[in-house]
Chain A
Amino acid sequence: MRSLAGRLHAWSLGTLVVLILAWLPGCATTPLRGTGDLGLVIERTAGKVLVVDTTHRRILGEVAGLGDLSHASVVYSRDGRYGFVFGRDGGLTKVDLLRRRIVRRIVQAGNSIGGAISQDGRLIAVSNYQPGGVRVFDAATLAPVADIPATYGDGKGRSRVVGLVDAPGNRFVFSLFDAGEIWIADFSHGRTPVVTRFHHIGREPYDGLITPDGRYYIAGLFGEDGMALLDLWNPKQGVRRILPHYGRGERRLPVYKMPHLEGWAMAGDYAFVPAVGHHEVLVVDRHDWHLVRRIPVHGQPVFVMARPDGHQVWVNFAHPLNDVVQIIDVQTLRIIHQLRPGPAVLHMEFTPRGEQVWVSVRDADQVQVYDTATFARLAVLPATHPSGIFFTDRAWRIGL
């Protein structure tokens, strides 16, 4: 018969083991928190992303092993926990922001430019240069769902695909750079898309965007002046050209970096877009799409982004004039401030309500945070060759 002391001893050991077992997984879990103030910053040469916290303006950690991120973008799951990172090398990586690790990663093509998540959050679409087309994956598992080759002409060639966005009705809309076409892939009836093609939309669409209400898809044209507009409420009306005459007869400057039409700088009655090959931001009336004004700016705009309240528009510029950011006041359409964050300002991202903007300064290896009311610099965070900055509030915005 065991002594009382022995039994007690065994009991304590058992308790200890149970306590240790309970404590161990506790080590691996992060404290409970939401993700609404988190985001990812691309470190383009390191193949990494930084997980950042916009409330405390700090870097929480990094996730490595994402391949060639020389051109990269991120969309978010609707719960804001997972970022889907699209890399240049065809990589599609699902990153868990809370655990700060890769959940799943596939290399789905040879060369990619961007992607989108469907309205219902179940599908991830990637636009590819090589092989030209769009591939669609299950958001939960990254298992393949659909392949949409961007064939054109005699059906043998495949176009590079740009400007891929999600649209209401579980649709994806994208442009074919080489073919001069816009396609709608409709996944509202299941996993086999119904594809609608619009031909002759203009030469060399280089990027596309959708208005925040999901109604208008607009492709910028590189091969000619103007933009192509598709009303997704009335697709049977076809694609029409807007701004066909800006810059006509004027010498276009060499373009050292393609403008990006991410988001849609819409503020008041106006939309703001970068002019291709000109040191100008174009102001367009969003009711009839006529050109209201050409605002002369520091260089060729790359990103033209409205602060979430629509009171200001922030602009960065192409190489070699890419050390400057200018801010346009929407009421007066004048430049009210200029910042010089440093060499190679690549991207800007506003916090969800716009009190801060985060700016990546590639060749300074910094992300800088500015107060958008005072233009004071609030923080400087170290990052290796940072490029795109993506906050989780994109999860709840059409077209991002």
Chain B
Amino acid sequence: MREDNDKNFRFLHARPGAVLALVCALFSLPPASTAAPDAARRAWLDNLLAQDCGSCHGLTRKGGLGPPLLPGNLAGKSDALLVKTILQGRPGTPMPPWNTELSADDARYLVRQLRRGPMR
């Protein structure tokens, strides 16, 4: 098997100690949830919201496999419930938990964006 781009990680296979050091370094960093997302993170989150959330909820958030997420649809739902839904998903539905890559602050930012409605 040939791979084009796994060279960056090859050293990890050779040096298990390096993996341990890397993992320790990662966990010693302040948790992502202590700070509001910065501009770069917000841009990434906006793209995620439009494109990947949009896969199921529609680019215009009018729904698809997932329900519509326009401000009117969310009006009766608390921020806490929406944040929890994003982070933990909805078991028994196709909505997956996003806590694998999103912090609570990321989710709170997404909820704020959802309540604003789609751009334009």
Q: Is the interface of B mostly helix, strand, loop or mixed?
A: loop
Assuming the contacts A68-B59, A111-B58, asked whether A254 and B64 have C-beta atoms less than 8 A apart, the reply is no
- A residues 42-76 near B (Cβ < 8 Å) are 44-45, 68-71
| A336 touches which of B1, B50, B62 (Cβ 8 Å) | B1
Tell me if A110 is interfacial: C-beta within 8 Å of chain B.
Answer: yes
Q: Report the stretch among B11-19, B22-30, B96-104 that lies at the interface.
A: B96-104
| B60 touches which of A68, A206, A257, A334 (Cβ 8 Å) | A68
- A residues 182-233 near B (Cβ < 8 Å) are 204, 206, 222
Chain B residues positioned under 8 Å from A362 (CB to CB): 51
B interface residues, Cβ below 8 angstroms from A = 1-6, 47, 50-52, 54-56, 58-60, 62-65, 89, 94, 96-97, 100-101
A222 to B94, CA, bound (A): 8
Check B55 against A71 for contact (C-beta < 8 Å): yes
The winner among A319, A337, A339 for most chain B CB atoms within 10 A is A319
Assuming the contacts A70-B55, A337-B1, asked whether A254 and B89 have C-beta atoms less than 8 A apart, the reply is yes
Check A70 against B1 for contact (C-beta < 8 Å): no
Chain A residues positioned under 8 Å from B59 (CB to CB): 44-45, 68-70, 88
Q: Which residue of B lies closest to A362 (CB)?
A: B51
Tell me if A2 is interfacial: C-beta within 8 Å of chain B.
Answer: no
Check B97 against A254 for contact (C-beta < 8 Å): yes
Check A344 against B51 for contact (C-beta < 8 Å): yes
Contact string against B for A residues 97-126, beta-carbon threshold 8 Å, 1 for contact and 0 otherwise? 000000000000011010000000000000
Assuming the contacts A68-B58, A111-B64, A319-B52, asked whether A336 and B96 have C-beta atoms less than 8 A apart, the reply is no
What distance in Å separates the Cβ of A275 from its nearest Cβ neighbour in chain B? 16
Check A70 against B54 for contact (C-beta < 8 Å): yes
| B4 touches which of A71, A111, A339, A344 (Cβ 8 Å) | A339
Contact string against B for A residues 336-354, beta-carbon threshold 8 Å, 1 for contact and 0 otherwise? 1111100010000000000
Check A88 against B64 for contact (C-beta < 8 Å): yes
Tell me if A160 is interfacial: C-beta within 8 Å of chain B.
Answer: yes
| B65 touches which of A44, A160, A335, A344 (Cβ 8 Å) | A160
Check B1 against A363 for contact (C-beta < 8 Å): no
What distance in Å separates the Cβ of B57 from its nearest Cβ neighbour in chain A? 9
Chain B residues positioned under 8 Å from A258 (CB to CB): 55-56, 65, 94
Check A336 against B64 for contact (C-beta < 8 Å): no
A357 to B63, CA, bound (A): 32
Check B58 against A70 for contact (C-beta < 8 Å): yes
| A255 touches which of B50, B51, B64, B96 (Cβ 8 Å) | B96
What distance in Å separates the Cβ of A382 from its nearest Cβ neighbour in chain B? 18
Tell me if A81 is interfacial: C-beta within 8 Å of chain B.
Answer: no
Chain A residues positioned under 8 Å from B97 (CB to CB): 254
Check B50 against A110 for contact (C-beta < 8 Å): no
Chain B residues positioned under 8 Å from A45 (CB to CB): 50-51, 59
A222 to B55, CA, bound (A): 16
Check B47 against A254 for contact (C-beta < 8 Å): no
A362 to B48, CA, bound (A): 12
Chain B residues positioned under 8 Å from A222 (CB to CB): 94
11 contacts between A and B (CB under 8 A): A68-B59, A70-B60, A71-B64, A89-B60, A111-B64, A130-B63, A204-B94, A256-B96, A257-B52, A334-B1, A337-B2
Check B65 against A129 for contact (C-beta < 8 Å): yes
A129 to B62, CA, bound (A): 11
A340 to B8, CA, bound (A): 13
Q: Which residue of B lies closest to A341 (CB)?
A: B4
Assuming the contacts A70-B64, A129-B63, A255-B94, asked whether A338 and B3 have C-beta atoms less than 8 A apart, the reply is yes
A340 to B64, CA, bound (A): 29
- A residues 230-256 near B (Cβ < 8 Å) are 254-256
A88 to B63, CA, bound (A): 9
Tell me if A385 is interfacial: C-beta within 8 Å of chain B.
Answer: yes
Contacts A130-B63, A254-B100, A338-B6 known; 20 new A-B pairs at CB < 8 A: A44-B51, A45-B50, A45-B51, A70-B60, A71-B55, A71-B58, A88-B64, A89-B60, A89-B62, A111-B64, A177-B65, A222-B94, A255-B96, A257-B55, A320-B101, A336-B1, A337-B1, A338-B1, A340-B5, A363-B51
